[in-house]
Amino acid sequence: MTGAGPLLRRAGDRGWLIECAGTRPADVATAIRRRPWAAGLRDVVPAATTVLVVAEASGGMDPLAAELRTLLHEVGTRSSGPAPGRTVVIPVRYEGADLAAVAERTGLTAREVALLHSGAEHAVGFFGFAPGFAYLDGVPEPLRLPRLASPRPRVAAGVVAIAGNQTVVYPGGTPGGWHQIGVTEERLWDIHAQPPNRLSVGDRIVFEEVAR
């Protein structure tokens, strides 16, 4: 494909990589999964700016490319994006270890940070880094900060943190260089649950402030 829209590139013998210029990868991935021909796919993997589409077999890659180009044109010209995913409410106590530092760096009060974050529209963009690590798009512009210069070696499950335009609810046990602004008792990743991941790409996330 040419122009400013998504670009389709071959990725191995069974894959197509979509570079989603100007289009949310989560929207593209959701639209692909809803197509009848998606039954012939092994996986659809959205990332920060791309979507990897992996077929079950190497035959039929050109017809698959044609289907993807048609879909990308429809997604790019649609006035309203794909139907939203589920709405998941996550109660948060805004008392994170970095809340005061975030407030100072952004010129806001801690209360204003909490109100801005809980009042924004968030959505699951993609997963990565570790099992259950969901990148949630939608951090308001005034709260967008780069990651910490020195990551913490281990972050507990349920810590709500921000960096750039994204929020994460840590699944637990991983290092973390994001700014910790809150904590939730909700468990979004549980290896004993079926499925273990409570969230899906495209889900709308509502952070609901609760009393400390």
3-state SS track over 144-165: CCCCCCCCEEEECCCEEEEECC
Specify whether 96 is located in the same domain as 167. Answer: yes
Look up the CATH number of the domain holding residue 148.
Answer: 2.40.100.10
* Residue 77 banded pLDDT, cuts 50, 70, 90: low
The whole-number pLDDT of residue 34 equals 86
What's the structural domain count of the chain? 2
Q: From CA 32, how far away is CA 99, in angstroms rounded?
A: 38
Specify whether 71 is located in the same domain as 112. Answer: no
Percent of the chain beyond pLDDT 90? 57
Specify whether 117 is located in the same domain as 201. Answer: yes
Specify whether 69 is located in the same domain as 95. Answer: no
Domain with 72, as residue range(s), is 7-77
Specify whether 93 is located in the same domain as 186. Answer: yes
In a domain, 169, yes or no: yes
pLDDT in tens, 79-107: 444 455 689 999 999 999 999 999 999 99
Specify whether 72 is located in the same domain as 124. Answer: no
Question: Which of 27, 56, 77 is where one domain is finished?
Answer: 77
The whole-number pLDDT of residue 128 equals 82
pLDDT in tens, 94-145: 999 999 999 999 999 999 999 999 999 999 988 888 878 899 999 999 999 9
Specify whether 40 is located in the same domain as 95. Answer: no
Specify whether 175 is located in the same domain as 105. Answer: yes
In a domain, 167, yes or no: yes
Specify whether 161 is located in the same domain as 141. Answer: yes
Specify whether 107 is located in the same domain as 178. Answer: yes
The whole-number pLDDT of residue 84 equals 57
Q: What is the mean pLDDT of residues 160-185?
A: 94
In a domain, 161, yes or no: yes
In the predicted structure, residue 183 carries a pLDDT above the cut 50: yes
Q: From CA 158, how far away is CA 169, in angstroms rounded?
A: 6
In a domain, 14, yes or no: yes
In a domain, 82, yes or no: no
Specify whether 44 is located in the same domain as 135. Answer: no
In a domain, 1, yes or no: no
In a domain, 168, yes or no: yes
